[in-house]
A and B are shown apart, each in its own frame.
Chain A
């Protein structure tokens, strides 16, 4: 963030105590953030004996076993919820991205009829949220209860992502638009051939934000659909937080695998996609967030 890594001449070198305190604080923060992940991972790899011997505090399992993963991937609730989550995330992200791009593009061009009004319509929704009950009634009136559409449509567009995309489109050089129009390209062709190819990176970020949102979402599923349409997050809630026994649903023959290990294996499986996309996300989000928050 600072231009150079070198200490400016006027700045006094750090005292030994100050430096030690800083290093200690940073190490403590890193441990506080990272330890829970390690704990979850190692518990998921542990056997019953190991968990009871260490009393839950397994840092490095001496004989790691993949039994818990074998159990959850053997078919049954977790496997199908995982497949469902992947599909919901993929379809939801595609729909959200398409709707957001269309609207952001329309709002990014000056002079489009009604543009200013439509922008206010979208921005005003940042000021209030309708609340659980009216949302539920709308979904019910539309006949979307217990459909997969109820997991996507109510959160189709985030006004924040819309603002980020719109401001990115607005900052593209206008000469490009003008040249394309003089060559006879229509609005849609300009979007497809000029705007989208120039916006690949910001589109990737917005898509990842949506994908992470869909992957983590559980509340719409809790409100609107029955358990045969639950995504992984809802299954996780049911097993880990509501304490519902896994043996009811996961094949009961595998009793040797501790419930705690299975639960943590589900946590790990839910975490992996986020950890995989995180490096890509991180490369851009600071820029994106600031564009949205500061420049608008």
Chain B
């Protein structure tokens, strides 16, 4: 974006050049542009502004305006009274929430699932990327890539239905266990297994998709390093350990830090579909707490309070994580987009 104040040189001379044939100079490129008043610039760019208007309206209405809705976190909100008429209760909703054991249970469940995902789900794409990268034949590699990227595009309703079919009570796996003489195990409704189930589903859906960024990082490693190492007698494991892993480490650290920014959010759609199958004690996470207590049970104030706390803490985590990424010498997620 730094180019705005550097108009091409040939236009700079426009003022003192003799009046030649009337060239309709692109106004945006003329150096005198800076002298235009705001109104003149708006008039000049009116087409652009009209084109951008629907998008801007969308972001304002559906991303910024809702923030004012958090006023209900401080009210005894009654839908038929509206924002203005509902009683102001100050911090009472927050006090009520923090005294609610179900809230703490959902926080614990959230962190449990996050931790499990970090241990099991986070490394999976790295391993798969290494495996894919080691395939020599491009035909085979492309085929495997096509297969493992596919589940990313399937919605959670379908995925959970498929899992129901394979792992559920009448599904293939329990029947298989039965057939070989083991006890039936219904993974879909066993409460203690829920965090594992959620993690397994996440891996199935997004492990392949997650390899994309690591594959790009692997491609960026200088091939001559491998050659030089091989000539110097480094075996394949040594090359993996000394070249490949250090080579992708910046990306790994960046993604790890960014994951820290979202530890309070675990797949909402995925869990809201399955929470009832295992019950709230094991299946409730912060997001579903807000949904079931607020929208379903009509406790608007307290659940908005949870949403607000979660939003503020979550944003602080994202910003903190981004700063941490900068400290590690990474650009962060948004730096690139702003250029």
A contacts, CB < 8 Å to B = 1-2, 5-8, 10-12, 22, 25-26, 29-30, 32-37, 39-40, 43, 54-57, 98-100, 102-103, 105-107, 109-116, 118-123, 125-138, 140, 142, 153-154, 156-157, 162-163, 177-178, 181-182, 184, 186-188, 191, 212, 215-219, 222-223, 233-234, 236-237, 240-242, 260, 263-264, 267, 270-271, 274, 278, 281-282, 285-286, 289-290, 293-296
Contact = CB atoms under 8 A, between A and B. Distances in A.
B147 A212 contact: no
A181 B26 contact: yes
Given A2-B138, A116-B1, A134-B66, A102 B54 contact: yes
Contact of B165 (A12, A234, A267): A267
B156 A216 contact: yes
B164 A36 contact: no
Contact of A131 (B54, B58, B230, B310): B310
Interface of B: 1, 3-4, 23-26, 28-29, 33, 38, 41-42, 44-45, 47-49, 51-56, 58-70, 72, 79, 128, 131, 133-138, 140-141, 144, 146-151, 153-158, 160-166, 170-172, 174-176, 178-179, 204, 208, 212-213, 215-216, 219, 223, 226-227, 230-231, 235-236, 268-269, 272-274, 276-277, 287, 290-291, 294-295, 300, 303-304, 307-308, 310-311, 314-315, 318-319, 333-339
B63 A125 contact: yes
Contact of B55 (A116, A137, A157): A157
Contact of A153 (B62, B171, B230, B310): B62
B216 to A, nearest CB: 6
A274 B153 contact: yes
Contacts of A109: 28, 48
A34 B23 CA distance: 63
B66 A137 contact: yes
A56 B273 contact: no
B56 A22 contact: no
A99 B42 contact: no
Contacts of B28: 109-112
A176 to B, nearest CB: 12
Contacts of A26: 131, 135, 140, 144
B309 to A, nearest CB: 10
B230 A106 contact: no
A106 B49 contact: yes
Contact of A240 (B63, B164, B172): B164
